[in-house]
A and B are shown apart, each in its own frame.
Chain A
Amino acid sequence: MRDSQLINTGIPALAVLGGLALAAAQYFIWIYAPVEATMGVLQKIFYFHLPLAWWGLISFFMVFCASLLFLITRRSVMDRLAQAAAETGLLFSGLALATGSLWAKAAWNTWWTWDPRLSTTLIMWFIYAGYLVLRQSIDNPQKMRALSAVLGIVAFLNVPLVFLSARMWRSIHPAVFGSGGGGLEPEMMTAVMVSIAAWGLLTAAILLFRVRQLHIKDRIKTLYVF
């Protein structure tokens, strides 16, 4: 298995790198970047919230890619990757929602506001939670893989529509962070970038680890036959 060898060497390397990068990111977040004038220390949530939201969405995109590749190649590693990515995406976007909610409470004194990005994340969270429920509930593994691949594809096709409609729902656009982080000071920007990179390494490590775990689980399940 070429895949599993790659995975086996990749996991420790990525995990160590990710850990180091995350430690370095703390320096950038707490010491290098200045404390924001109006929100104070609470603004630091942003350095966790943004990478989590980013990598959550990228994980969902990976579900889409893996599902597509699974339907074309029928390789079970793609199916495992789709499941791992959905789980990771669900965890990250859940954390992004929680941190976003904390931010909203601090900044606008409300736990939840109809911000298109937040709403899109929440809807995606529901869709992929449904995706994992579907994977759980179908007994025939072959059928389950094909069906969840189809759902993994249509779920992501839906993202642009979800975002557009969430933005139109509230016709007054609240300028949350400005557009594209334009309102950030350069030091803050650096801290954000470092955080994103660190979380990226960690995401890759978690994904591969989960893929390997699922592979081993499948092998154990069929062990009694061979």
Chain B
Amino acid sequence: MNNSSHDHDFILRLEGVTHFFDQRLVFKNVNLVVEPGSILLVAGPNGAGKTTLMNIMSGLIPPSAGMVEHRASRDKYAFLGHHTFIYNGLSALDNLRFWSGIYGLRLTEHEHLQLLDMVGLKAFAHEKAGNFSRGMSQRLSLARVLMLKPVLFLLDEPATGLDPASRDLLREVISAGAGDGAAIVWVSHTLKEDLDMADRVLLLEGKKQAFYGLARDYRNQLYGTSLEH
């Protein structure tokens, strides 16, 4: 970050973040800045600590060492992971009502239905979430985070196991969010597909930050080396 004039303009900053899981090193010295309207792709092999990093960014767990600076209120963070946080025994509408209550939002019935409409579930508002497919559950989860009017999306492989339509919807909403100035941190399995959307890439490998920089540079590095072989 040689341009210090933008230093004030970030949502989340990690400096020298190191994490141990019971004396076992997960990763060390991760540094990153999340700026409004940017999309950061987090990549790395299984077990590299991507999910742990997301949990640290969301504030769920404190890092073993290093600093995490939140510039935005944490109730404006949209955390979308493999788990949907959806109660199977409640209807789609009741799920939304519950979460808006927990966040202290006073949304009307109409606003709740509007949210469901945005993710294409209005027709299933009174259906039990337990009957939903994986794609529908994840969409409901998307509606759950959209009502927070998030400034930061933390997406931990949310597209895993989704049908193409749901995946497209997810991408659409994410792009729209970035357009509105929300930042996006995205853990992706399908790196090559998603690289085009990203501004920056963070690669976790070998218990450390193996690459952090512009997506363009990463692409050049990736394909540049592969051409030489």
Q: Taking beta carbons and an 8 Å cutoff, which residues of A are in contact with B?
A: 141-142, 218, 222, 225
Contact = CB atoms under 8 A, between A and B. Distances in A.
Interface residues of B, number: 5
Interface string B13-28: 0000000011111000
What 7 A-B pairs have minimum CB-CB distances, sorted nearest first? A222-B23, A141-B22, A225-B24, A142-B22, A222-B24, A225-B25, A218-B23
B184 to A, nearest CB: 29
Contacts of B25: 225
Secondary structure type dominating chain B contacts: strand
A135 to B, nearest CB: 14
Interface of B: 21-25
Given A142-B21, A225-B25, 8 more contacts: A141-B22, A142-B22, A218-B23, A222-B22, A222-B23, A222-B24, A225-B23, A225-B24
Contacts of A142: 21-22
A218 B22 CA distance: 9
Nearest to A218: B23
Contacts of A225: 23-25
Contacts of A141: 22
A218 B24 CA distance: 11
Contacts of B22: 141-142, 222
A225 B21 CA distance: 11
Nearest to A222: B23
B10 to A, nearest CB: 29
A32 B224 CA distance: 91
A142 B24 CA distance: 12
A175 B22 CA distance: 51
Nearest to B23: A222
10 contacts: A141-B22, A142-B21, A142-B22, A218-B23, A222-B22, A222-B23, A222-B24, A225-B23, A225-B24, A225-B25
B64 to A, nearest CB: 10
A141 B21 CA distance: 9
Nearest to A141: B22
B66 to A, nearest CB: 16
Nearest to A145: B22
Q: Which of B23, B24, B25 has the most CB of A within 10 A?
A: B23
A224 to B, nearest CB: 9
A141 B20 CA distance: 12
Nearest to B61: A142
A222 B24 CA distance: 7
Nearest to B62: A74
A148 to B, nearest CB: 15
A142 B25 CA distance: 14
A54 B24 CA distance: 40
